[in-house]
Homo-oligomer: A and B are copies of this chain.
């Protein structure tokens, strides 16, 4: 695949061609160098889309809620992109199937692009890959781009940080109630949703969340995350959620830019670490890295010394 055809691919992405978008995301997901080149080419054409992260524990009803949000945004004439970060694996046929079924409901609508991205245990690479896939959709003119993740862990926190707005969805009585949500996830939420409003304990979950938020110091940018009660199956509360999101989007420019600056700072840090490791791999070679790891396992080397030596051999420190 030469540079010429990559150039053509970016042009096709910018023209909004769904097959080019799909191919571009595959390149990124595979960690192919062509993917990195493509991101470079597209980056200057991004920033127009509004990135909305939706996360929460499994079973909270996120997928149905995202379906409702897609319909809501479509009704205003927008083309909507969705990245569904999906716990795919040999084991979890169920999750993949669920997602495929869901895609069918929008299959006839070329104003909606839904793409699953797999959790591959890639080393810190998932947040990068998700971020870059969102950039591709952004460049292709999808706006908003919804990034849906399942879970309440550090990876979701990092992915949510790549969005302009983060929605955390819980269901009443889930696990240990709101304690089931890791603190880091609470902190990144711009809007909370208690879904399954018809279930027992929904009002209690809202009160709990509001109490926790009330105890916390004033959130960044003077925005106090609202708690919205929804019932995705009936659509109840979805308009309220969309309005809350739009209210968040329409904050002063400097707040939105600062959020994006933070996002780029995080992405930069990830990227520097990844590029640096790639250089170490290229310079040292996988077999010697394997031998060094074995020496570490036998305690014949110490890890800091080994890491410093790998760095020094790859790139000598400046005087």
Interface residues of A (CB under 8 A from B): 36, 39-40, 43-44, 46-47, 57-59, 87-92, 94-95, 119-121, 123-124, 126, 150-157, 174-176, 179-180, 182-184, 186-187, 212, 215-217, 257, 260-277, 279-280, 283, 289-290, 292-294, 296-299, 302-308, 310-311, 314-318
B215 contacts A91, C-beta separation under 8 Å:
yes
Residue of B nearest to A86 (CB): B183
CA of A159 to CA of B87, assembled, Å: 18
Query: Which residue on B lies nearest to A155, using beta carbons?
Result: B154
Given known contacts A40-B305, A44-B299, what 8 new A-B pairs fall within 8 Å (CB)? Answer: A87-B183, A91-B216, A119-B183, A121-B184, A260-B297, A268-B307, A268-B310, A272-B311
Q: Which residues of B contact A58 (CB under 8 A)?
A: 152, 175-176, 179-180
A216 to B91, CA, bound (A): 6
Which partner residue on chain B sits nearest A280 by CB separation? B272
Q: Which residues of B contact A264 (CB under 8 A)?
A: 293-294, 296-297, 303
A12 to chain B, nearest CB (A): 19
Copies of this chain, how many? 2
Q: How far is the CA of A293 from the CA of B272 in the complex (A)?
A: 13
Contacting residues, chain B, for A87 (C-beta < 8 A)? 182-184
The reply to whether A123 and B269 form a contact with Cβ atoms under 8 Å apart is yes
A36 CA to B293 CA in the complex, in Å? 18
* Cα–Cα, bound, A159→B48 (Å): 37
Do the beta carbons of B40 and A302 come within 8 Å of each other? Answer: yes
- The residue in chain B whose Cβ has the minimal distance to the Cβ of A87 is B182
**Chain B hits for A151, CB < 8 A:** 151-153, 182
A12 to B63, CA, bound (A): 53
With A and B bound together, what is the CA distance between A151 and B58 in angstroms? Answer: 11
Q: Is the beta-carbon distance between A273 and B274 smaller than 8 angstroms?
A: yes
Q: Is the CB of B315 within 8 A of A186?
A: no
Are A59 and B176 neighbours in the complex by a CB distance under 8 Å?
Answer: yes
The residue on B at minimum CB distance from A213 is B91
Contact between chains at A318 and B283 (CB < 8 Å): yes
Determine if A273 and B277 form an interchain contact, defined as CB atoms under 8 angstroms apart: yes
A175 touches B57 (CB 8 A): yes
Name the distance in Å between A67's Cβ and chain B's nearest Cβ.
17
Given A265-B293, A272-B280, A293-B262, A94:B43 Cβ within 8 A: no
A-B contact pairs, 21 of them (CB 8 A): A58-B152, A58-B179, A59-B175, A59-B176, A88-B183, A90-B217, A91-B186, A91-B212, A119-B182, A121-B184, A121-B187, A152-B153, A257-B294, A261-B293, A268-B293, A272-B307, A273-B274, A273-B276, A276-B276, A279-B317, A314-B315
**A44: nearest chain-B partner, CB-CB:** B299
Bound complex: CA of A36 vs CA of B182, how far in Å? 28
